[in-house]
Amino acid sequence: MANGSIIDITDAYKAFGRNIHALRGVDLQVDAGEVFGLLGPNGAGKSTLVKILMTVVRPDRLGGTMLGRSPGDKRALAKVGYLPEHHNFPSYLTGRQVIEFVAAMTGMRRQPRRRSADRLLKRVGMWDWADKRVKSYSKGMLQRIGLAQALVNTPELVLLDEPTDGVDPVGRQEIRDLLLGLRDEGMTVFINSHLLSELEMVCDRVAIMVKGRVAMQGTIDDLTADSRHYELRIHGSAPDWIDSLPDVSMQSDEHGTLLRINGREPDGIQTLIDRLRAEDRTILEIRPVRDSLEALFMRAVTEGGEGFAGPGAVVGDEGGRP
Amino acid sequence: MTQSIALFVDAYRLLNARRIFWFTLIITGLVVLCFALVGINDQGIRIVVWDIEIPGVNTRTGWTPEFFYKFIFNNLGIGIWLSWVATILGLVTTSGMFPEFISTGSIDLILSKPIGRFRLFITKYLSGLLFVVLQVCVFCVGSFVVIGLRGGVWLPGIFISIPLVVLFFSYLYAFSVFFGILTRSTIAALLLTILCWFVIFVVQSSENTLLFFVKYQEQKVAAYEENLERSRTQLAGVENPEDRERWDFMYKTIEVREERLEEARDSGSGVRIAHSILSGAMTVLPKTSQTLDLLERWTVDLADLPERDIDESPPVITEDGEFEANEAEIGLAVRDEVNSRSPLWIIGTSLLFELVLCLGAGVIFWRRDY
């Protein structure tokens, strides 16, 4: 296990049949106590990877550890919570029964699992609906019960596949707060999601998968470091001497001129500001800019997956599984 | 242990949520109630307060109340209700258990828990038998109490039907689980199971029918042999038997008998081969009817059977050489042959088949990516 890594897997490989290569040697590290996001286009192999970690899919090759043990080790799984993407809780159970059943399947005894279920039902805001059958629940309510069952055994690691799927904006905010709360409690949260803006708000680190491989992995700050620059908007047209400055480009419109200054350090723009002010130019706006997670994602998909044709499975050596 | 209990509780909740389970249970209760409404006396059968005179079925002809209740329990309660109607309802109820269990979103959650796939499969398999266990337990306890109170006959022996009916159902349930896992479809699992049950039924019935013909041919061959022997003895006993002209009719009779015997042996050997093939198939297949027949074998003492007029006349070869069988004797020979099959063979070979089917289903379940 790498220092402080909850998940440290190497060379994860999985093929379905001869032609569909879902994972093609994935290396991934998730550190203890962080919120980790796994991104990727459809068919990138994200769900396959999560399912391999949860022993739902059997890998062709897999090295490394999860919670200090071989991936799939039952003792490690006892410390993991999991919310599958398309979960399908038995319609004949109540929300409370779903949580208690999952708790029992992790080996918890009756009294602790009852206490844990009660606590989580309150925490996810489902206390009033606890004894109603899940077939009467809305998608958002099912998602809340899904989160509660994933946390019932007080796991060290919780894997959430599309946790905000079908949840309204208020619910999403609550789930984000819950995830950050879990991190504050020392839990490691692994999220697989398509909602990049959601992930950007909660994730400490992300990995972007493309065509069965990890194309990028790190903190969002690190991954977007190269794209950092400043934008400075001035009134009117730009002075002629701007053209001679390296790392500065400009664009004019009816609101004035937008100058883009490459470089992540603020020192670099101080001289420019001084010269503009010396000419009595009006500076309308100065702001640091970096790529959004979405831009990073698009870059990873287009650069990391040469010839990526769009959503869906890419078959053969070139791609992953639907 | 906690996980296994949870799976059994979950199976109970699944049954509890299905109306067909309660419908079957209520009908089971009504069938038990019917036992309270019937009795036997020296005239015939009494239903509630009405006496129905039935010659041959009354206490004067040897039908003891004990035998009467065993008879209706075995033949109506188990033979028709539990082994046909309730079994079909049971298959309808349980055929969806595995397809639903392995559906996407459901199996993911279970497999992510610290329980081995094989143990999970076995526990889920056994929990599926809960339906029939509950039904047959309710039926037996109810029948025991009702027959005891109503007829004054306490029959603890009927509780042997609990394991027997569960065994019988488990043979079919194994098909349902196998096809359910293979196809992931409830409808396919149910239909294919019923198809297999039908095939087994046809094989069993055909084997029984052919056994009858085997015994028939044996009786025929024995009759011709005996008749031929008698003719030869007669011929040997006459004066100057080499005088063919004088005893020509006896030589001709012997000749015809020899031809008939040869024909009987030939057709007998054909029937025997056909029976052997079906018998071999039966050895492999689960023996549904024979398993339930053990109930009668174990609970009914043949000495307690009411007296019946049995034709004890031997089989006959008529003057023109035709064979007239004693079918009652053949029937007894068939019964003896069937009863000579040991319970160990009946249950053991059936369980072996179930085990192979379960192993197949278990391996598919174990190897599959979900």
pLDDT tens sequence across A155-168: 999 999 988 887 88
Among A82, A84, A92, whose Cβ lies nearest the Cβ of B13? Answer: A92
Decide if A313 is inside a domain.
Answer: no
Average pLDDT estimate for B116-141: 92
Burial group, residue B94, by CB count within 10 angstroms (0-12, 13-18, 19+):
buried
Residue A316: what pLDDT? 36
Decide if B227 is inside a domain.
Answer: yes
Set of chain B residues whose Cβ sits within 8 Å of the Cβ of A109: 2
Set of chain B residues whose Cβ sits within 8 Å of the Cβ of A88: 103-106
Domain match, B80 and B107 both: yes
Could you tell me the sign of the dihedral formed by the alpha carbons of B41, B43, B44, B45, in that order? negative
A109–chain B Cβ distance below 8 A for any pair: yes
Set of chain B residues whose Cβ sits within 8 Å of the Cβ of A139: none
The CATH number assigned to the domain holding A274 equals 3.30.70
Q: Between chains, do A58 and B369 touch, taking CB under 8 Å as contact? A: yes
Residue A64: what pLDDT? 93
Burial B241-253 (b: 16+ CB within 10 A, else e): eeeeeebeebeeb
Q: Using one digit for the tens of pLDDT, what is the confidence trace for A180-231?
A: 899 999 999 999 987 888 888 889 899 999 989 998 888 888 888 778 888 9
- Residue B169: give the domain boundaries: 2-202+358-367
Q: What is the number of domains present in chain A?
A: 2
Q: Give dist(CA B259, CA A13) in Å, integer.
A: 77
Decide if A172 is inside a domain.
Answer: yes
A275–chain B Cβ distance below 8 A for any pair: no
3-state helix, strand, coil in chain A (%, to 5): 35, 30, 35
pLDDT surpassing 60 at residue A13: yes
Average pLDDT estimate for B40-50: 86
Domain match, B229 and B316 both: yes
Q: Do A58 and B369 form a contact (C-beta atoms < 8 A)?
A: yes
Decide if A263 is inside a domain.
Answer: yes
Residue B306: what pLDDT? 58
Residue A311: what pLDDT? 34
Decide if B353 is inside a domain.
Answer: no
Q: Using one digit for the tens of pLDDT, what is the confidence trace for A290-321?
A: 888 888 888 888 876 543 333 333 333 333 44
Decide: helix, strand or coil at residue B258: helix
Q: If pLDDT is split at 50, 70 and 90, which confidence band does B55 have?
A: confident
Domain match, A110 and A242 both: no
Set of chain A residues whose Cβ sits within 8 Å of the Cβ of B110: 105
Domain match, A266 and A126 both: no
Residue B310: what pLDDT? 59
Q: Between chains, do B114 and A16 touch, taking CB under 8 Å as contact? A: no
A107–chain B Cβ distance below 8 A for any pair: yes
Q: How many DSSP H helices and E strands does chain A contain?
A: 10, 13
Average pLDDT estimate for B162-169: 92
Alpha carbon of B86: minimum distance to chain A alpha carbons (Å): 23
Mean pLDDT is lowest, of A100-104, A265-269, B11-15, for A265-269
Domain match, A193 and A245 both: no
Q: Give dist(CA A237, CA A253) in Å, integer.
A: 9
Q: Quote the pTM value.
A: 0.82
Decide if A308 is inside a domain.
Answer: no
Pairing of strands A20-31, A5-16: antiparallel
Q: Using one digit for the tens of pLDDT, what is the confidence trace for A144-154?
A: 999 999 999 99
Mean pLDDT is lowest, of A73-82, A290-299, B268-277, for A290-299
DSSP state of A161: E
Q: Do A47 and A235 form a contact (C-beta atoms < 8 A)?
A: no
Burial B118-156 (b: 16+ CB within 10 A, else e): eebbebbbebbbbbbbbbbeebbebbbebbeeebeeebe
Q: Give dist(CA A220, CA A299) in Å, integer.
A: 13
Q: Show which of residues 148-187 on chain A sit within 8 Å of chain B, judged by CB atoms.
A: 149
Cβ-based neighbour number of residue B358 at 10 Å: 20
Domain match, B39 and B155 both: yes
Q: Over pLDDT 70: what percentage of chain B?
A: 97
Interface test with A, best of B18, B113, B118 (most A CBs within 10 A): B113
Decide: helix, strand or coil at residue A288: strand
Q: Establish how many alpha carbons lie within 13 A of residue B368's alpha carbon, considering only the half-sphere containing its beta carbon.
A: 19
Interface test with B, best of A75, A88, A105 (most B CBs within 10 A): A105
Average pLDDT estimate for B17-33: 88
Size of interface A-B (CB pairs under 8 A): 85
CA distances from B78 to B95, B143, B168 (A): 22, 11, 11
- Name the interface residues of B facing A (CB cutoff 8 Å): 2-3, 5-6, 9-10, 13-14, 16-18, 100, 103-116, 367, 369-370
Decide if B150 is inside a domain.
Answer: yes
Domain match, A270 and A297 both: no
Decide if B275 is inside a domain.
Answer: yes
Decide: helix, strand or coil at residue A49: helix
Decide if A318 is inside a domain.
Answer: no
Residue A69: what pLDDT? 93
Mean pLDDT is lowest, of A95-104, A209-218, B78-87, B101-110, for B78-87
Q: Which residue of B has its CA nearest to A146?
A: B109
Decide if B66 is inside a domain.
Answer: yes
pLDDT surpassing 80 at residue A235: yes
Supply the mean pLDDT for chain B. Answer: 88
B345: its two tokens: 């063979």
Task: Give the start-end residues of each E strand in chain B.
Answer: 38-40, 44-47, 50-53, 316-317, 323-324
Decide if A214 is inside a domain.
Answer: yes
Domain match, B182 and B293 both: no
Domain match, B14 and B120 both: yes
**B341-347 CB contacts, 8 Å cutoff, 24+ apart:** B341/B290, B343/B294, B343/B297, B346/B287, B346/B290, B346/B291, B346/B294, B347/B167, B347/B291, B347/B294
Decide if B329 is inside a domain.
Answer: yes
Interface test with B, best of A13, A56, A114, A159 (most B CBs within 10 A): A56
Q: Between chains, do A16 and B367 touch, taking CB under 8 Å as contact? A: no
DSSP state of B314: P
Residue B329: what pLDDT? 85
β-sheet bridge partners, residue A5: A31
pLDDT surpassing 70 at residue A53: yes
Q: Between chains, do A88 and B116 touch, taking CB under 8 Å as contact? A: no
Decide if A322 is inside a domain.
Answer: no
Domain match, B132 and B277 both: no
Domain match, A203 and A238 both: no
Domain match, B43 and B104 both: yes
Domain match, A106 and A199 both: yes
Q: What is the number of domains present in chain B?
A: 2
Structural Rg of chain B based on CA atoms = 27
Decide: helix, strand or coil at residue A286: strand
Q: Do A301 and A41 form a contact (C-beta atoms < 8 A)?
A: yes
Decide if B344 is inside a domain.
Answer: no
Residue B364: what pLDDT? 96
β-sheet bridge partners, residue A157: A80, A188
A84–chain B Cβ distance below 8 A for any pair: yes
Domain match, A204 and A274 both: no
Task: Give the start-end residues of each E strand in A180-282.
Answer: 188-192, 205-210, 213-219, 229-234, 248-253, 256-262
Q: Over pLDDT 70: what percentage of chain A?
A: 93
Q: Between chains, do B106 and A105 touch, taking CB under 8 Å as contact? A: no
Q: Which amino acid is at A119?
A: R
Q: Which residue of A has its CA nearest to B116?
A: A74
Domain match, A72 and A195 both: yes
Residue A322: what pLDDT? 36
pLDDT surpassing 50 at residue A173: yes
Size of chain B, expressed as the number of residues it contains:
370
Domain match, B197 and B212 both: no
Set of chain B residues whose Cβ sits within 8 Å of the Cβ of A106: 113-114
Domain match, A219 and A275 both: no
Among B13, B111, B113, whose Cβ lies nearest the Cβ of A93? Answer: B13
Structural Rg of chain A based on CA atoms = 24
The CATH number assigned to the domain holding A130 equals 3.40.50.300
Decide if B349 is inside a domain.
Answer: no
Interface test with A, best of B108, B363, B365 (most A CBs within 10 A): B108
Domain match, B68 and B137 both: yes
pLDDT surpassing 70 at residue A176: yes
Mean pLDDT is lowest, of A44-48, B185-189, B328-332, for B328-332
Q: Give dist(CA A283, CA A293) in Å, integer.
A: 29
Q: Using one digit for the tens of pLDDT, what is the confidence trace for B346-358?
A: 999 999 999 999 9
Set of chain A residues whose Cβ sits within 8 Å of the Cβ of B109: 82, 84, 87, 102, 149
Domain match, A112 and A187 both: yes
CA distances from A18 to A14, A15, A21, A315, A317 (A): 11, 7, 8, 10, 10
Q: Which residue of B has its CA nearest to A153?
A: B113
Among B5, B110, B114, whose Cβ lies nearest the Cβ of A74? Answer: B114
Contacts of A161 (CB under 8 A, 6+ apart): A47, A50, A82, A83, A84, A85, A192, A193
Interface test with A, best of B1, B22, B97, B109 (most A CBs within 10 A): B109
Domain match, A117 and A262 both: no
Domain match, B155 and B24 both: yes
pLDDT surpassing 90 at residue A136: yes
3-state helix, strand, coil in chain B (%, to 5): 75, 5, 20
Q: If pLDDT is split at 50, 70 and 90, which confidence band does A119 have?
A: very high
Q: If pLDDT is split at 50, 70 and 90, which confidence band does A76 have?
A: very high
Supply the mean pLDDT for chain A. Answer: 86
Domain match, A115 and A69 both: yes
Domain match, B245 and B113 both: no
pLDDT surpassing 80 at residue B315: no
Q: Which residue of A has its CA nearest to B105?
A: A87
Element (H, E) at A12: strand A5-16
Decide if A124 is inside a domain.
Answer: yes
A245–chain B Cβ distance below 8 A for any pair: no
- Residue A251: give the domain boundaries: 229-289
Domain match, B177 and B262 both: no
CA distances from A320 to A41, B36, B192, B242 (A): 10, 67, 35, 97
Among A86, A107, A149, whose Cβ lies nearest the Cβ of B114? Answer: A107
Least Cα distance to A296 among A213, A196, A167 occurs for A196
